[in-house]
Each structure stands twice: as structure tokens, then as C-alpha cells.
């Protein structure tokens, strides 16, 4: 327990305000849920992560890794390409060669797109920013490459579509609070999602009156994140039926899993470290390199 507390403390002592990337799918967001935040125009993200099995869709009932490339082409358009590693295991209906069991032998490809349809503060100050998007949005080897929800088990394991609203509130003397509300949807039989997701993050910006290194300088940039993300209930049931084991969800509230995490940026926001505790319990983490092309 002491070890997890130390990791948790180090996770939250370091973060930077403009880090918005979801390390697990390579797009902008909190931890697992999307947000309506957008990267700066012509921003390139390159990263990779260790993913605990609870963070990934039902297909990964083991810990894995991913790597991704992301670019914000325009202030309103972001695209990403994410690859998640497959491990060869003796599935009941498996097709891997026995000598490859336990090794990473393949990778799943996930193309993602995000489009901003309303900018925060336009028309009225209280208007939130609105973004629509999707992961594995056009790839389905079973029914062809069509832009539609993937039904059945098939490919497109990361498939989801969403509409998300984000509003920021300045907290004088403390920082900025971001509130995020999303609706996430897909029709996969093993990882069906059809529910809202709610999240918040607090970016500290405390005035520093001391030129020497002080607690204000350490606190500034801290981004505390929490989200309530739809649970992978059908995926958990599928794992129990096929493999005889059912992973714990950790902390949850009804159909939502409660996740917390943070990030750390250095070298002028060029290198970013991320971590998450899925269900407030299971650790994942990654590193992301950020480049601004203009």
C-alpha cells in the first residue's frame, strides 16, 4: 500500500497546464474519456505507453503497450494513428502458433479523428467548447471500411464515437477548473458503450512571490484529473465466459469506473510523462513528445 501511495504522490506532484493527451489512445482528453480541449495548431504528438489490462478494451485481458502519432492539422481538426500490441496466448478458439505464446506478435491499428464544431466562449461567455470524434472510426475488417458503429466481435477493438462539451472556470489565486461532459457510444458485443462520461481537471496557477524555488513553483502546473467512465461490463462478462476469469474493476459508481491520474512536463513542454490509476487502483503510464511546427 505504501508503494502505491508513493507512486500516486509522485504522479500528482508534476503536471503542466497544456497537457491534454490521452496516452492510452493517443488523442486529446483526460485519461480514458475525451474532452473538447484542442492542441495548439500544427502540434505533433509522438508517444508510447504501458497499459494495464483494465485500461484497454475487452480484447486485452493482459497488460500491453502502445505507441502513437498525432497531429493537429488546423485549430479545429486533430487526427491520430495508434497501435496497440497483441500477445499470442492459447485462446480456446485461438490461432497463434504455440511457440509464440506469451510473446507480442502483432498490433492493432486505430485511426482517430476529432473535429471542433464550437469554440468555447463564442456567442456567449458561458458557451462550452464542443467536439465530435471517434476512435477506430473507419476500420472494420468484418463489414468493410465503413463509417458506422462496429457490431459483433470483429476488428476495430478501440471503436467508439462521442460528443463532448468542455467549459473552463478561472479560480482566482488557485488556477483553472475544467469541466467535461461526454456521451460515448459503440455497438461492439464485447465492449458495448452507450452512456455519458463525466470528468474534471484542476490546473493550479498560484502566484509565486519568492524568486527562490518554493512550493508555489512546484504546485504551479499541477493538473489533477478525475473521470467517471462507462465500465466495460460486457467485456468483463465475455472474459469470464471465454477464459474463466473476471478482472476487478477497482473503485466504481454504478456503471462508471472512477479513474484518477496526472502528467508531468519538462524541457519546455517537449517531453511529457503520464500516469493513471484505473479504478483508483491499477497503474498505467506513458511518455509523449510534443513538437510545435510553427
Report residue 216 CA to chain centroid gap: 28
Q: What is the pLDDT of residue 91?
A: 67
Q: Average model confidence (pLDDT) for the chain?
A: 81
Question: How confident is the model at residue 203, as a pLDDT?
Answer: 83
Beta strands 175-186; 160-171: pairing state: antiparallel
pLDDT at 131 over 90: yes
108 or 223: which carries more pLDDT confidence? 108
Q: What is the pLDDT of residues 140-163, one digit of tens each?
A: 544 433 444 555 455 788 889 999
pLDDT at residue 19 in the model: 54
The two beta strands, 223-230 and 43-51, are unpaired
Mean pLDDT over 240-262 rounds to 80
On whether the pTM is more than 0.85, the answer is no
7 confidence band (pLDDT: 50, 70, 90) = very low
Q: Which of 3-17, 70-84, 183-197, 269-283 has the lowest mean pLDDT?
A: 3-17
Higher pLDDT, 191 or 179: 179
Range scoring the smallest mean pLDDT among 32-36, 49-53, 96-100, 236-240: 236-240
User: Mind spelling out the 3-state secondary structure of the chain?
Assistant: CHHHHHHHHHHHCCCCCCCCEECCCCEEECCCCECCCCCCCCEEEEEEEEECCCCCCCCCCCCEEEEEEEEEEECCEEEEEEEEEEECCCCCCCCCCHHHCCCEEEEEEEEEEEEEEECCCCCCCCCCEEEEEEECCCCCCCCCCCCCCCCECCCCCCCEEEEEEEEEEEECCCEEEEEEEEEEEECECCCCEEEEEEEEEEEECCCCCCCCCCHHHHHCCCEEEEEEEECCHHHHHHHHHHHCCCCCCCCEECCEEEEEEEEEEECCCCEEEEEEEECCCEEEEEEEEEEECC
What whole-number distance in Å separates Cα of residue 138 and Cα of residue 145?
Answer: 6
- The answer to whether residues 35 and 29 touch, using CB atoms and an 8 Å cutoff, is yes
pLDDT exceeds 70 at position 229: yes
Amino acid at each position: 500500500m505504501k508503494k502505491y501511495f508513493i507512486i500516486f504522490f509522485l504522479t500528482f506532484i508534476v503536471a503542466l497546464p497544456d497537457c491534454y493527451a490521452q496516452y492510452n489512445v493517443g488523442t486529446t482528453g483526460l485519461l480514458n474519456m475525451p474532452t473538447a480541449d484542442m492542441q495548439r495548431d500544427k502540434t505533433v504528438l509522438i508517444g508510447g505507453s504501458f497499459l494495464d489490462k483494465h485500461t484497454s478494451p475487452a480484447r486485452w485481458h493482459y497488460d500491453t503497450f502502445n505507441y502513437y502519432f498525432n497531429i493537429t492539422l488546423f485549430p479545429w481538426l486533430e487526427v491520430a494513428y495508434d497501435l496497440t500490441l497483441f500477445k499470442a496466448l492459447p485462446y480456446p478458439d485461438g490461432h497463434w502458433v504455440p511457440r509464440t505464446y506469451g510473446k507480442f506478435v502483432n498490433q492493432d491499428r486505430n485511426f482517430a479523428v476529432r473535429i471542433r464544431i464550437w469554440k468555447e466562449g463564442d456567442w456567449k461567455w458561458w458557451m462550452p467548447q464542443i467536439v465530435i470524434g471517434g476512435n477506430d472510426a473507419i476500420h472494420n475488417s468484418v463489414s468493410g471500411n465503413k463509417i458506422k458503429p462496429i457490431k459483433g466481435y470483429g476488428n476495430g477493438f478501440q471503436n467508439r464515437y462521442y460528443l463532448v462539451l468542455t467549459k473552463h472556470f478561472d479560480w482566482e489565486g488557485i488556477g483553472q477548473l475544467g469541466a467535461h461532459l461526454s456521451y460515448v457510444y459503440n455497438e461492439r458485443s464485447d465492449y458495448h458503450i452507450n452512456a455519458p462520461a463525466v470528468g474534471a481537471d484542476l490546473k493550479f496557477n498560484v502566484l509565486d512571490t519568492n524568486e527562490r524555488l518554493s512550493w508555489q513553483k512546484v504546485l504551479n502546473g499541477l493538473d489533477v484529473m478525475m473521470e467517471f467512465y462507462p465500465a466495460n461490463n460486457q467485456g468483463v462478462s465475455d472474459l469470464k465466459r471465454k477464459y474463466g476469469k473476471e478482472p476487478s474493476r477497482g473503485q466504481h459508481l454504478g456503471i462508471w469506473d472512477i479513474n484518477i491520474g496526472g502528467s508531468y512536463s519538462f524541457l519546455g513542454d517537449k517531453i511529457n510523462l503520464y500516469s493513471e490509476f484505473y479504478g483508483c487502483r491499477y497503474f498505467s503510464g506513458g511518455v509523449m513528445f510534443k513538437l510545435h511546427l510553427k
